[in-house]
Structure 1
Amino acid sequence: DSPLLLSAVGGNVSISCATSRGVNTYKKINHLLAWYQQKDGESPKLLIYYASTRESGIPSRFTGSGSNSDFTLTISEIQAEDAAVYYCQSFHFINSQRVFTQ
């Protein structure tokens, strides 16, 4: 089972993600880190890419941080609609092969 994090509305939550291979945080496609939100019955929604860049339309209370192999998604001022499963995904272009990890 996935770890469960609980917060009262208005609280803050931090979700950690550790990758087995280092990820560059600058805008280079070879290695990147993204965060997704998936609500019940819906497809995953991109929140953050390049570790800290918010997708268009994502509220500023969603913040990505970290570098190399350790990353964090912070949700500030939690709202009821933030109830979801959150995933981190790393992308690597290694030896001409695209590698995605969850």
Structure 2
Amino acid sequence: WAQAVLTQPSSVSASLGQRVSITCSGSSSNIGRYGATWYQQVPGSGLRTIIYGSSRRPSGVPDRFSGSKSGNTVTLTISSLQPEDEADYFCAAYDISTNAVFGSGTTLTLLG
């Protein structure tokens, strides 16, 4: 990844079946203007796009993954957490001056 410009929590945790939200904050030159994309990375695997255009879900991604945008912040919400959701989640966005900016990633840990 390039230097992180977007701000994400370093980690979140929740129990199986619960709901969790991960935020990603930027500015009016990136998220505020263009929205963002969310990626999932399971250890040992490549990046998988789970949300694009801030709230659109690619085919094949379960509908328990959802995204929203408010101002310069996007939020990824995962409802009814499953074991396979334990992963790192990254946000990325276009930026008017630097083409692309990234978050440093959020590690989702399942409790219990």
TM-score range, shorter chain: 0.7 to 0.9
Tell me which amino acid in the other structure corresponds to 2:24.
C
Distance between the aligned counterparts of 1:51 and 1:14, measured in 2? 14
Distance 1:100 1:5, change over 3 A: same
Q: Which ranges of structure 1 fall in alignment gaps of 5 or more residues?
A: 25-29
Paired residues, what number? 93
Tell me what 1:69 maps to.
72
Q: Which ranges of structure 2 fall in alignment gaps of 5 or more residues?
A: 1-8, 103-112
Tell me what 2:15 maps to.
8
| C-alpha contact (below 8 Å) 2:35/2:69 kept by paired residues | no
| C-alpha contact (below 8 Å) 2:38/2:91 kept by paired residues | yes
TM-score by length of 1: 0.81
1:27-79 residue CA offsets vs partner (Å, 9 max, x unmatched)? xxx82410000010111100000100001110000000013311100000000
Distance between the aligned counterparts of 2:46 and 2:15, measured in 1? 25
Distance between the aligned counterparts of 2:101 and 2:67, measured in 1? 18
Structural mapping, 1:2-81, within 5 Å: 3-22=10-29, 23=31, 31-81=34-84
Tell me which amino acid in the other structure corresponds to 2:100.
F
Identify which of 80, 85, 89 aligns with 1:86.
89
RMSD across aligned positions (CA): 1.8
Tell me which amino acid in the other structure corresponds to 2:44.
G
TM-score by length of 2: 0.74
Tell me which amino acid in the other structure corresponds to 2:27.
S
Distance between the aligned counterparts of 1:57 and 1:45, measured in 2? 11
Which structure is higher in RCO with an 8 Å CA cutoff and minimum separation 6? 2
